[in-house]
Amino acid sequence: MKRLFLQEVVARDGFQNEKPFIDTEDKIALINDLSHCGYAKIEVTSFTSPKAIPALRDAEAVMAGIQRQPGVEYTALVPNVRGAERALGCCLDEANLVMSVSDPHNRANLRMTREQSFAQLKEVIGVIGQASIAVNVSLSTAFGCPMQGDVRLDEVLAWIERFAEQGVRGISLCDTTGMAYPTQVQALAQQVRDRFPSLQLTLHFHNTRGMALANTVAALQAGVDRFDASLGGLGGCPYAPGASGNVCMEDLVHMLDLMGHHTGIDLDRVLAASARLPGLVGHDTPSQLLKAGRRLDLHPFPQQAHALARQVSDTPLERAQ
């Protein structure tokens, strides 16, 4: 089984939706913990306007405060040239740009047509590229748009091609509202890998309709080796209150480890960090692993069955516990 690359998005994609402001020091402490978990990449923050996303208004302070670990890339969302200029002072390893491949979602989310977004991101790529910082482009609604419905596969490929021509290092296919399903994921991922073999391809799943881990299995079969996920599954979906959002990192890593893949992740450390999230955000998270424990976190034999069991068993109970 090959090496997989896990990318932690909780500090950006997760925290951006949280209502109470999370203290800068708490963000820094969490990211410092995450830096020891074995991630390939950590999305630290977003250089969007503090008015648009007040939860991440401390982008510069967080970038300046974290202790970086060798082998971990630190990325941040950069929406426009203004954001790029702010980011340049922060020693990013990568800038993560974003637009939607569906027209209505791009207009609703970014207040621009897709062509306007592309023109703006081209400028950002120019600014970022001059500083020799890698560029990733996250394509939202790559598996479906909550306003438009299906998004044509050839349209997704066309947008990837336009960004590849701009020399970006990577593309993330984002299942923004959990519309991806396994056969679709396998088909799209296979085509992207065949047509753009040198692009760093990330799949970014949401678990809105419960399919994120099934989609991961399908992506693995198409040879994908890089996945975003969010500690504790933090990160909501504005179109489905109460539903799950980003796929939960610990649930994903747990499955990948069991399947024999080499994730490089220290799951104990991830779980310990996840257990601190409710204290930071003021509510429970959708983490399944935090509630159920790992597969081989065993349980004692129930006491009430002990007496009878001792009579009927021909093997010492202790061996089974």
Provide the annotated active-site residues: 237
Q: Does 130 bind its own copies (CB under 8 A)?
A: no
Instruction: Please provide the DSSP assignment of 180-195 as one string.
Output: --HHHHHHHHHHHHHH
Phi, psi of 317 (to 5 degrees): -55, -40
Q: By CB under 8 A, how many residues form the interface with its own copies?
A: 68
Q: Between residues 167 and 242, which has the closer beta carbon with respect to its own copies?
A: 242
Site string for its own copies, 212-251 (x = CB under 8 A): -xx-xxx------------------x-xxxxxx---x--x
Residue 13 carries which DSSP code?
I
**What SS3 class is residue 300?**
coil
Which span (14-22, 120-128, 131-139, 174-182) binds its own copies, by CB under 8 A? 174-182
Which span (3-11, 40-48, 126-134, 179-187) binds its own copies, by CB under 8 A? 179-187
State the residue for tokens 């590849």.
164
Closest CA to 206 of 238, 241, 231, 176: 176
Closest CA to 47 of 92, 7, 84: 84
For the record, the structure tokens of 36 come out as 């020891």
For the record, the structure tokens of 182 come out as 């396994």
Q: Does 153 bind its own copies (CB under 8 A)?
A: no
Beta bridge partners of 139: 99, 173
Q: Does 141 bind its own copies (CB under 8 A)?
A: no
Q: Does 283 bind its own copies (CB under 8 A)?
A: no
Among 43, 254, 273, 281, which residue sits at the site for its own copies (rule: CB under 8 A)? 254
Cβ proximity of 134 and 170 under 8 Å: yes
For the record, the structure tokens of 292 come out as 């159920």
Q: Does 80 bind its own copies (CB under 8 A)?
A: no
Closest CA to 26 of 58, 4, 74: 58
Q: Between residues 191 and 200, which has the closer beta carbon with respect to its own copies?
A: 191
Which span (18-26, 161-169, 224-232, 308-316) binds its own copies, by CB under 8 A? 308-316
Residues that bind its own copies (CB under 8 A): 102-104, 107-108, 111-113, 116, 144, 146-150, 178-179, 181-184, 207-211, 213-214, 216-218, 237, 239-244, 248, 251, 254-255, 258-260, 288-289, 291-296, 298-302, 305, 308-309, 312-315, 317, 320-321
